[in-house]
Amino acid sequence: MSLVGLLEGLNGAGVRYVVVGGVAANAHGSARITSDVDVCYDPEPENRNRLATRLAAWHAYLRGVQPGLPFAMDGRTLRDTPVMTLVTDEGDLDVMDRVAGVGEFPAVEASSLETSVLGVPVRVLSLDALIAAKRATGRRRDHEALLELEALREERRRRRL
């Protein structure tokens, strides 16, 4: 997986997105290891088509699905499937147009901040929004991550960061 390649590729294609999930948590100081990148994208048609074009160039295919089944990566596919888990030439990438506990893209973008990940400028979900998202999903692994994220938030409050 090339995290830098994924982020630079999305930026280079002019895709409007916010990094959510494990990579966003890492940007806030989490030590947890993640094997994929999760992004919430603006579903506005032009942006959705830019994302689909980038994903098609990376030979995006549904993760966990038998290879060789018919699959077309285009704007319509993204429109009709609000959450997709993909394998690409650059690594595993999950794309979604909303985040549980936060809302649709405008709310996600409003709950994000600008930073850089490995030198690549990106927007990442805020720590408070990450915590809300982890609470909303209710998966065991999210509950475990939630403990660390809440500790990071408490440490920031204690230090007034």
Q: 3-class DSSP state for residue 143?
A: helix
Say how far apart CA 105 and CA 112 lie, in whole Å: 10
CATH number of 3-151: 3.30.460.40
Domain ranges in the chain are 3-151
% of the chain surpassing 70 pLDDT: 99
Query: In the chain, at which residue ranges do the beta strands (DSSP E only) sit?
Result: 17-20, 36-41, 61-62, 83-88, 91-96, 98-99, 103-104, 112-117, 120-125
- The per-residue pLDDT of the chain, averaged, comes to 92
43-85: pLDDT as tens digits: 999 999 999 999 999 999 999 888 888 899 999 999 999 999 9
Whether the per-residue pLDDT at 157 is higher than 90: the answer is no
Q: Could you tell me the pTM of the whole model? A: 0.91
Output the pLDDT for position 144.
Answer: 79
Answer yes or no: is pLDDT of 126 > 80: yes
Q: Tokens for 13?
A: 């294609």
Average pLDDT over residues 85-110: 97
CB 125 within 8 A of CB 37: no
